[in-house]
A and B are shown apart, each in its own frame.
Chain A
Amino acid sequence: MAIDARQIGEERQRKEIRDRWLLSAPALFLIVAASVGPLAIVVLYSFLAPGNYGDVKWAFSTEGWFNVFLSRDIFDGTVSLADAHFSIIWRSVKLAFITTLLCLIFGFPTAYFIATRTPHTRSLWLFLVTIPFWTNMLIRAFAIQEAIRSEGIVNTVLMTLGLISTPIQMLFTDFAVLLGMTYVFLPLMVLPLYASLEKLDFRLVEAGYDLYASRFGVLTRIVVPMVRPGIVAGSILVFVPALSSYVIPRVLGGGKALMIGNLIELQFGQGRNWPLGAALSVALVVVVLFVLLFYVRNTGKSGGGAHG
């Protein structure tokens, strides 16, 4: 009897692929069942009518989506733009964008500083950036809350220095949210920037100086273009969670500086308009996916690869 090695080989390959599916099945099932799959229900709910006490009525309705952008006057039924929603959505985008910018302004020099240390001390500095990243976000938001409240350390220091005579109201303002998000998301900017900067070939910088570039010229014409993938990655990593932030505006913005996340929560709590909440959620996911798509295409073009 002749042994057909080719057939055995093909069989073995089929078995290997089957095994690989079996091995990944628990993880895939877990995520589909309890993370990704339920999103389909959210899409479904966004097209149903709101129930009287939360939840939904099983009837098709575009009211949820309608309410995202427009509001109907309860008394005369006239339709107008939903100003309250627009102002919250606009604030979310604005705050997320400014947060990204602030993280970049502070994060770039920090990442550059770490990347130019000796390899041994580098990992220590990196560790110092990572620690806050892994400590509870709520605790960090709480720490900021304590620092900027009327009797907090910031006001105390400013008053002691005589710069102000009465405490500034910082808590529950856009500024507080901005400060909190910048504080919390800064490591997300520093880490990919560092990954890019660490790989930067400093002989190119040397060449720049050799060709009469100033320090600033070297920075803007050599360093920044070379680490662009890191800048894009860091910006996305900050912008996306900042846009969908929930804990920070809740702790630092109080009821005054709401963001999309809080607006969504309201629909499932006090607002009792689940379809509207679902529609807002779907809209948020779509925006986030667009930003990520932009990122994938952007890094695809520039060759990418310079981020961890």
Chain B
Amino acid sequence: MKNGERMTISRATAAHGGTIGLHGIKKRFGSFQAVDDVTLDIRSNEFFTLLGPSGCGKTTLLRMIAGFELPTEGRVLLDGADISGLLPNQRPVNTVFQNYALFPHLSVAENIGFGLKMLGRPKSEVGAVVADMLKLVHLEGRGDHPVTQLSGGQQQRVALARALAPRPKVLLLDEPLSALDLKLRKSMQIELKRLQAETGITFVFVTHDQEEALTMSDRIAVMSEGQVRQVGTAREIYDRPADRFVADFIGETNFLTGTVERTEGRRATLRLATGATITAGLPDTATPSGAVTLVIRPEHADLVTAGAGTMDGTLGDIVYFGTDTHYHVHLDDGTDFIVRRQNSRAGSEGDAPETGHRIGVRFSDNAAQILKD
């Protein structure tokens, strides 16, 4: 039975385009510039995430794709056609709302069938699609239940099914997991990935949770203060952050300063403030010279005996996190540096570093990445 349902859905996706083009989008609320000149291309059949802190404009951007807000400037394209001025009910795009916005006076099935009913589809078709959808989100037999009596996770599934039922070209998800507890959130992340793969619909997902973005997305746009700071795959964004904001916002990072001595392809040799000479990756869009900032992820560095690594310092706090341990090192030039080590039972207790002792920090040439600002 699982196969049958998968077939129905994927047959429908054959005709799907579902590319979104955002061209020079600006949105002002009074004197507040919510979105400041965003240009983005979202591909067909992609799990695309808008990631950023609250107030960065990601939800406003989503609402402009849905049609709840109109851009002050710029154009929204769906499969090449300008939809900037269309009303929400005229756009083949559906939304999963942050608070689900389920209709409390309708049953589960009536909620899911709402869109098709509004489109004037015959009752038999609505019934069939609703049944498909109930299966897809594992709510078989719950069609007659009032939505107000469902748990948070079940309401989430109804909201998903409701938005998917009319087979939109693009599904917009506005922080849909933020109201769920951690465990449920994890399982819904997997569920969402599965639904995206099975339906082949373009998902545009808004979140402020970087971990959620990294685990689920094909591509991520990191936003801040109404602008897109970097677009790329999870790995690109994590390993090669374009600027200080992205590096700081995604994961934990050590910032070091240095001076570029020479560049060679996309790599540069530079002298650190601590005196050591290393090579590091250059950002994709710029070739900075002179004084630069570079980042090294804590897990890409390791502790060694003093003098044996790239830099030396004094070991400060040691913070135990269960799966790993953070070592805070005060480098000799005065900057703080964090090294993350995975914990293991077999770990040799003998060479465990101790607070206050001199210690060295080592990292490979690939670990360092130069920022464009």
**Are chains A and B touching in the complex at the 8 Å CB cutoff?**
yes
The residues of A with any CB-CB pair to B shorter than 8 Å are 2-6, 8-9, 12
> How many whole Å from B227's CB to the nearest CB in chain A?
19
By a CB distance below 8 angstroms, the chain B residues around A8 are 70, 84-85
Q: Are A6 and B71 in touch, CB under 8 angstroms? A: yes
Report the Cα distance A2→B73, complex, angstroms. Answer: 11
Q: B83 — nearest CB in chain A belongs to which residue?
A: A3
By a CB distance below 8 angstroms, the chain A residues around B84 are 3, 5, 8
By a CB distance below 8 angstroms, the chain B residues around A2 are 75, 82
Q: Mark B64-97, 1 if CB is under 8 A from A, else 0.
A: 0000001111111000001011000000000000
The 4 closest A-B pairs by CB, nearest first: A9-B70, A8-B85, A5-B84, A5-B70
Report the Cα distance A17→B39, complex, angstroms. Answer: 32
In this complex, which of B70, B72, B82, B84 has the most chain A Cβ atoms within 10 angstroms of its Cβ?
B70
Report the Cα distance A3→B72, complex, angstroms. Answer: 12
Q: Are B70 and A6 in touch, CB under 8 angstroms? A: yes
By a CB distance below 8 angstroms, the chain A residues around B75 are 2-3, 5
Q: What would be 8 A-B contacts, judged by CB atoms less than 8 Å apart? A: A2-B75, A2-B82, A3-B82, A3-B84, A5-B70, A5-B74, A6-B70, A8-B70
Q: A1 — nearest CB in chain B belongs to which residue?
A: B82
Q: Are A6 and B73 in touch, CB under 8 angstroms? A: yes
By a CB distance below 8 angstroms, the chain A residues around B74 are 5
Chain B stretch 105-120: residues in CB contact (< 8 A) with chain A: none
In this complex, which of B71, B72, B82, B85 has the most chain A Cβ atoms within 10 angstroms of its Cβ?
B85
Chain B stretch 343-362: residues in CB contact (< 8 A) with chain A: none
> How many whole Å from A50's CB to the nearest CB in chain B?
58
By a CB distance below 8 angstroms, the chain B residues around A9 are 70, 72
In this complex, which of A3, A4, A5, A8 has the most chain B Cβ atoms within 10 angstroms of its Cβ?
A5
The residues of B with any CB-CB pair to A shorter than 8 Å are 70-76, 82, 84-85
Q: A11 — nearest CB in chain B belongs to which residue?
A: B85
> How many whole Å from B64's CB to the nearest CB in chain A?
9
> How many whole Å from B198's CB to the nearest CB in chain A?
34
By a CB distance below 8 angstroms, the chain B residues around A5 are 70-76, 84-85
Known contacts A6-B71, A6-B72, then 7 further A-B pairs from the complex at CB < 8 Å, ordered by chain A residue: A5-B70, A5-B73, A5-B75, A5-B84, A8-B70, A8-B84, A9-B70
By a CB distance below 8 angstroms, the chain B residues around A6 are 70-73
Report the Cα distance A4→B84, complex, angstroms. Answer: 8
> How many whole Å from A253's CB to the nearest CB in chain B?
52
> How many whole Å from A101's CB to the nearest CB in chain B?
47
Report the Cα distance A151→B237, complex, angstroms. Answer: 93
Report the Cα distance A3→B74, complex, angstroms. Answer: 9
> How many whole Å from A112's CB to the nearest CB in chain B?
36
> How many whole Å from A24's CB to the nearest CB in chain B?
23
Report the Cα distance A148→B322, complex, angstroms. Answer: 82
Report the Cα distance A12→B88, complex, angstroms. Answer: 13
Report the Cα distance A9→B85, complex, angstroms. Answer: 8
Report the Cα distance A307→B236, complex, angstroms. Answer: 56
Q: B26 — nearest CB in chain A belongs to which residue?
A: A6
> How many whole Å from A135's CB to the nearest CB in chain B?
33
> How many whole Å from A120's CB to the nearest CB in chain B?
21
Report the Cα distance A5→B84, complex, angstroms. Answer: 6
Report the Cα distance A6→B76, complex, angstroms. Answer: 12
> How many whole Å from A226's CB to the nearest CB in chain B?
34
Report the Cα distance A2→B76, complex, angstroms. Answer: 11
> How many whole Å from B67's CB to the nearest CB in chain A?
10
By a CB distance below 8 angstroms, the chain A residues around B76 are 5
> How many whole Å from B179's CB to the nearest CB in chain A?
26
> How many whole Å from B129's CB to the nearest CB in chain A?
32
Q: A8 — nearest CB in chain B belongs to which residue?
A: B85
Q: A7 — nearest CB in chain B belongs to which residue?
A: B85
Report the Cα distance A200→B269, complex, angstroms. Answer: 68
Report the Cα distance A12→B84, complex, angstroms. Answer: 13
Report the Cα distance A292→B76, complex, angstroms. Answer: 52
> How many whole Å from B250's CB to the nearest CB in chain A?
32
> How many whole Å from B62's CB to the nearest CB in chain A?
16
Report the Cα distance A5→B85, complex, angstroms. Answer: 5
Report the Cα distance A9→B76, complex, angstroms. Answer: 14
Report the Cα distance A156→B85, complex, angstroms. Answer: 80
> How many whole Å from A10's CB to the nearest CB in chain B?
9
Report the Cα distance A4→B73, complex, angstroms. Answer: 8
> How many whole Å from B66's CB to the nearest CB in chain A?
14
Q: B87 — nearest CB in chain A belongs to which residue?
A: A12
Report the Cα distance A174→B43, complex, angstroms. Answer: 84
By a CB distance below 8 angstroms, the chain A residues around B73 are 5-6
Report the Cα distance A106→B242, complex, angstroms. Answer: 71
By a CB distance below 8 angstroms, the chain A residues around B70 are 5-6, 8-9, 12
By a CB distance below 8 angstroms, the chain A residues around B82 are 2-3
> How many whole Å from B120's CB to the nearest CB in chain A?
24
Report the Cα distance A108→B332, complex, angstroms. Answer: 71
Report the Cα distance A5→B75, complex, angstroms. Answer: 8
Report the Cα distance A5→B70, complex, angstroms. Answer: 6
By a CB distance below 8 angstroms, the chain A residues around B72 are 5-6, 9
> How many whole Å from B28's CB to the nearest CB in chain A?
10
Report the Cα distance A5→B82, complex, angstroms. Answer: 10
Report the Cα distance A188→B84, complex, angstroms. Answer: 53
> How many whole Å from A8's CB to the nearest CB in chain B?
4
Report the Cα distance A76→B203, complex, angstroms. Answer: 96
Report the Cα distance A2→B82, complex, angstroms. Answer: 8
By a CB distance below 8 angstroms, the chain B residues around A4 are 85
Q: B85 — nearest CB in chain A belongs to which residue?
A: A8
> How many whole Å from B61's CB to the nearest CB in chain A?
14
By a CB distance below 8 angstroms, the chain B residues around A12 are 70
> How many whole Å from A219's CB to the nearest CB in chain B?
42
Report the Cα distance A3→B71, complex, angstroms. Answer: 11
> How many whole Å from A3's CB to the nearest CB in chain B?
5
Q: A10 — nearest CB in chain B belongs to which residue?
A: B70
> How many whole Å from B332's CB to the nearest CB in chain A?
53
Report the Cα distance A9→B28, complex, angstroms. Answer: 12
Report the Cα distance A159→B257, complex, angstroms. Answer: 101
Q: B84 — nearest CB in chain A belongs to which residue?
A: A5
> How many whole Å from A17's CB to the nearest CB in chain B?
16
> How many whole Å from A11's CB to the nearest CB in chain B?
9
